Homo-oligomer: A and B are copies of this chain.
């Protein structure tokens, strides 16, 4: 399931803790995300992708861009339970963070897009997100903006203004959205002072109770699918309405995929409240309690929760500085929006 966990144990983290931890199980986040062979990351693609990512004109109302719900000025999402698309419409799931999404095994909560390239097309034609009737309608808007042509040509050559290339550019940009050098990462690289004593206790508890089964370093999630909730006989499942969403079952139709979701990354988790696929849980400490109960059938002491939360705060990385794109104009006219 998770190849990262199958690495040979090559050392032990000198934590001074009760349980020796294998250093090979606790690597730091790579600073560069892998790119697929058919879409190598280039500066020209990243520049174009950044523009498209921030451009709201490809939504029905002209008000919703990728960044509206996956805000890179924040934790890569919108801090709402569920996102708000065109005309104030809302869906059933909470926006996943775009930061480090390049490391995910698949995209969307139900993994219905295998790649960032595929994912980029989804929200454009989702009636509660960007609300365009079809992808070519959105692309017609891109093509109608004279200033975009040169950026497509620079990135992809002549006659390049296609939906697929737009998606490739957005994906290339998203692959630059990596947040390395969190306190955890500095710790994993040998800076033993990078984590506080409480954070080190939290790391050990996180490991000891079994969180790492799904949320393993370096990404702490994103690399496999899992049933949620696994244990349903508890107060949380009803309170937060966790059984309402069939998860990946709606994609595959396989009974074994009922309530199965892509495990979310815990990178920058302190920045992305509220929590879970439906955004029903407002705070990180409650999210930790919920996870322990629903996935491990285990109660945690207040102290354990605090320690784990402290550790999770150590997964907040460094955000690369970004320039603000200038978006080319529709000179002397505007799209008919509704």
Hey, which bits of chain A sit against chain B, CB under 8 A? Answer: 54-57, 61-63, 68, 71-75, 78-81, 84, 86-89, 270-271, 273-274, 282-285, 309, 313, 316, 319, 321-327, 329-337
Contacts and interface: CB of A to CB of B under 8 A. Distances in A.
A62 B94 CA distance: 14
B326 A282 contact: no
Contacts of A274: 333-334
A218 to B, nearest CB: 21
A7 B321 CA distance: 45
Given A78-B63, A284-B333, A327 B73 contact: yes
Contacts of A57: 79
A323 B326 contact: no
A55 B73 CA distance: 8
19 contacts: A55-B73, A56-B71, A61-B84, A62-B80, A63-B80, A63-B84, A73-B326, A74-B327, A75-B329, A79-B335, A80-B337, A81-B337, A88-B89, A273-B333, A282-B336, A284-B333, A313-B332, A321-B323, A321-B324
Contacts of A56: 71, 78
Nearest to A87: B88
A332 B283 contact: yes
A277 to B, nearest CB: 15
Contacts of A273: 330, 332-334
Contacts of A54: 73
A233 to B, nearest CB: 27
A59 to B, nearest CB: 10
Given A84-B63, A333-B273, A322 B323 contact: yes
A61 B273 CA distance: 15
A333 B334 CA distance: 39
Given A313-B331, A331-B313, A332-B313, A324 B80 contact: no
Contact of A334 (B73, B79, B309, B331): B79
A81 B62 CA distance: 11
Contact of A319 (B62, B81, B326, B333): B326
Nearest to A271: B329
B325 A73 contact: yes
A74 B56 CA distance: 10
A175 to B, nearest CB: 18
A337 B81 CA distance: 8
Most buried by B among A68, A324, A327: A324
A332 B319 contact: no
A67 to B, nearest CB: 10
Given A62-B79, A62-B80, A84-B63, A329 B68 contact: no
Contact of A330 (B79, B321, B336): B79
4 pairs of A and B residues whose beta carbons are closest in the complex: A284-B332, A88-B88, A87-B88, A273-B334
Contacts of A324: 72-73, 321-324
Contacts of A283: 332-333
A273 B336 CA distance: 11
B313 A74 contact: no
A208 to B, nearest CB: 22
